[in-house]
Amino acid sequence: MINFSMLRRQVLGAGLTAMAVAFAAASAPAVHAATPQLRIGTLAPKNSLYHRQLQAVGEAWRSALGGDAKYLIYPDGSQGGEAELARRMRIGQLQGALISVVGLREIEPSIAALQNLPLLFKNWDEVDYVREKMRAGMEKKFFDKGFVVLAWGDSGWVRFFSKEPAFKPADYLKMKFFAWGAESEQQEIMKSLGYTPVPLETSDILPAIQTGMISVVPSTPYFALASQIYNTAPNMLEINWAPIVGALVITKKAWDDMSPSAQQTVRNAGEKAGLAMRTQARQEVDEAVAAMKQRGLVVNKPSPEQMKEWLALADKLYPRIRGHMVPADTFDEVFMHLKAFRTTPGR
């Protein structure tokens, strides 16, 4: 938080007259304002694409404010899980965070519509179209909650990494899934379908799968490579279950402490960072899969019949998600935009 301290005044004896108090206050030496700081947390690994883009935004902020302004980036989940990052922003310990829908929904639940609808989006063109259509409304909702969205990004499609090979939904019934600790609704839905979720934080995934606490991790290939999950869970189901969508948000307090020119500089830097995260991250997903295959990853591709089973499971999930994990009106809006995209001539 950019925190300017109040000017201190010498404490005067109770017996001084009002004129003496006024004189002493006027002549007391001023104390310089505290150094402006921008502290941003993320689960993204240090030196990753996402970390580098946060550094670029931070540098733009520092240059815009000038003087001795400092920015600090906390990668690798060092400030806690995504729900914790949202909490830290609310109490002023952090001024911003790059987080996925898991953390963003702690601020504005309707954002879940972009990530928690399995097998709905067929490709990135559909994701981009729907997000852009809903962007203005989403950003206003965040602003009304006290946050400014600086950049929209994504980090690939969720695939299932498991200890044992699996191809169809029934194969996973005997396995124990990693589940985000903050997503209790998702856990209840999984249980109702016969699956076994184990709620954990991201930092607990690797030791949990090594010890057998969990046996399957829904993850993007990039994260699976960076965290070395694939060494213990060497089977990947080649299915685009859902996109991992995220955003860089800062508190409205931090935003309001900037001058209009500084706000524009930081917003421009955010737009540039978001584009880089979306473009480069999608390329790095394919590179991550190739790198893991060279190190022993087995890619399991479902047959057409098995894919029908996955689509049937998704259809069964949607009524449970609507109004629970995703607000009903936002759920319907996503489907409306997607239908418009798919029925546009030439697509």
Which tokens belong to 116? 């928690």
Cα 218 to the chain's mean position, in Å?
15
Amino acid in position 134: M
pLDDT of residue 88: 98
For the segment 116-151, what is each residue's pLDDT rounded down to a tens digit? Answer: 999 999 999 999 999 999 999 999 999 999 999 999
pLDDT band at 1, cuts 50/70/90? Answer: very low
Q: Average pLDDT for residues 25-39, to the nearest whole number? A: 59
3-class secondary-structure state, position 38: strand
Q: Count of residues for the chain? A: 347
pLDDT of residue 5: 36
- Packing angle of the helix pair 304-321, 184-192 (nearest 10 deg): 130
**Lowest-pLDDT range of 14-18, 148-152, 154-158, 160-164:** 14-18
pLDDT of residue 285: 85
Distance CA 223, CA 211 (A): 19
Average pLDDT taken over every residue of the chain: 89
Order of strands across the sheet that contains 159-162 = 196-200, 176-180, 216-219, 159-162, 235-237, 298-300
For the segment 167-203, what is each residue's pLDDT rounded down to a tens digit? Answer: 999 999 999 999 987 678 889 999 999 999 999 988 8
Structural contact between residues 3 and 253, judged by C-beta atoms closer than 8 angstroms: no
Report the CATH number of the 37-342 domain.
Answer: 3.40.190.170
pLDDT of residue 245: 95
Task: Quote the percentage of the chain above a pLDDT of 90.
Answer: 80
For the segment 299-346, what is each residue's pLDDT rounded down to a tens digit? Answer: 999 999 999 999 999 999 999 999 999 999 999 999 999 999 999 987
pLDDT of residue 15: 37
pLDDT of residue 138: 97
